[in-house]
Each structure stands twice: as structure tokens, then as C-alpha cells.
Structure 1
């Protein structure tokens, strides 16, 4: 009976040490993981995805961070390799003016239509 208790205690201690040894992602890594789209999964970031591709992208991000790359450099690296679509929050440039401006335009036009239908400014 003492041997059984010893082995159970030994395995509990061993498993706890293993869990402590696993690297947990830092806050910066999580921020980057959440802003990179998994190209295999539909609409998931690599933070949420468990695909092999997402796991390999996480490894690349960690490696680049340990090599001294900044967050912006990593986004540029990923954009160069996988295209603008890999970023959930793309930069504002000539190719994304419509993407960034369309919600504002729709909001203004929709508001004008609603105001006109309600007759707020009737004389």
C-alpha cells in the first residue's frame, strides 16, 4: 500500500513539474496570434486555431520575437509571405481605402436616409 501511495504521489509531482515547464505565451505573443488569420481555418485567428498550420505560424512568431523582431516587423514578414489577407487589422493604404472608408460612407448615407424618412428637418 505504501508503494502505491508513493507511486501516485511521484506521478502527481512529476505531472505538475511538466505543466510548469510548458511555456505559456506572453501578452505580446497573444496579441500577435490574435491578429494573424489562419489560412486553413475559416475565420479563425491562429490564437483560436489548433491546425498544424496555425501551430507552425506560432512557432515562427516566437522564433522571430526571440531574434529581436518587433511586432510591426513580424506583421510585415507575414504580409510579405502570405499577403495582406493574413492580417485581421490591415494597414491603411491605397488598396484598403475602400475597406476602411465603406463603413463610414454607409453610416453617413444610412443616417441621411433615416433622417429624411423621419422628416426631422421639415419646414
Structure 2
């Protein structure tokens, strides 16, 4: 008689597992990113390239190809429509920048307002090279310095005192 409640519990547990699996699969199906279809394979390649180079304004460092946000879906749709209309990659990027700002570009354009962004790494490497060079030159000069007469006499006094204690300790045993 104890077997019937055990089977009932196992059946309930199995139902819960199956229900969780179905909910999980439904979530995955909803999360699937729509695929744009093109008649021309060249347009398809351009679409893939552009969608990888444009960043989702809502997500943190995620391309519109990988993002699941509604803004990315809108951007992907706009890119596909502009490609079908014959727009160039440059025009599409400019349109996206006008609409969403410079943040959508993974590689910011070289302009007057972005020169610091592009030049700072080069400037820091150059500054580091100058600092290392200055330290090396100073160190070489410091090691090449000769002793003054006063320092030389003091050194001779210390070494002669050391030599005399050395000879006394050798004679004692």
C-alpha cells in the first residue's frame, strides 16, 4: 500500500520537470533573434558585417547581431531595409550615428573631438619611453662618476683599517 503514494510523488516530480523544461524551451524560442533574408549573398555578407560592427545602445558592449533588445531588433531591421534600398555601408553607419550617437560604433571615427581618444595611447607609450630613457641615462651617469679626493681618502682609511684587523685575526690562532 505504500507503493501507490510513492508512484504518485514520482509522477508529480516528473510533471514538474517536464513543465520546467517546456517553459525553458519556450523562453529560448522567444529569445531567438530574427534572421534577415536577402536574395543577393553579397548583401547578406554586408548585413552580417554591419550588424557585427554596430553596437547596441541599450546593452553593454554587445553588437546588434548578438543583442536581444528591442532597440537592436529595430536597428537590424533598419540596416536590412537600407541595404535593400541600395545604401552604402558608410551611409548606413552615418544614419545610425545620427540616430543613436557615436556610441553605436565600436571603432570611433577620427575627428577633431576624438583625437584625444586615438592619440592618448600613442602619447602614453611615447611618454613612457622618454621616462625610461631618462632613468637609464641618469643611472649610467651616476655609475660613471669618480670619487672625490675626500671620498677616496676616506675609502682608503676604511679599507686599511679592515686589512689591519684581517691580518691580526689571522695571526691569533
Tell me the TM-score normalized by structure 1: 0.71
Q: Which has the larger radius of gyration?
A: 2
Structure in which a larger fraction of residues adopt helix = 2
CA offset digits 1:35-79 (Å, max 9, x no partner) = 211011111111221222112211110000000100000011111
Q: Give the structure 1 partner of residue 96 of structure 2.
A: 78
1:36–1:100 Cα change, 3 Å: same
Q: Give the structure 2 partner of residue 44 of structure 1.
A: 62
Tell me the TM-score normalized by structure 2: 0.52
Larger RCO (CA within 8 A; separation ≥ 6): 1
Q: Find runs of 4+ consecutive structure 1 residues off by over 6 angstroms.
A: none
Unaligned 5+ segments in structure 2 are 1-34, 142-173
Size of the aligned set, in residue pairs, is 102
Please give the alpha-carbon distance, in whole angstroms, between the structure 2 residues aligned to 1:31 and 1:107.
32
Please give the alpha-carbon distance, in whole angstroms, between the structure 1 residues aligned to 2:137 and 2:56.
47
Please give the alpha-carbon distance, in whole angstroms, between the structure 2 residues aligned to 1:78 and 1:101.
25
Q: Give the structure 2 partner of residue 34 of structure 1.
A: 52
| C-alpha deviation, 1:112, in angstroms | 2.2
| C-alpha deviation, 1:91, in angstroms | 1.4
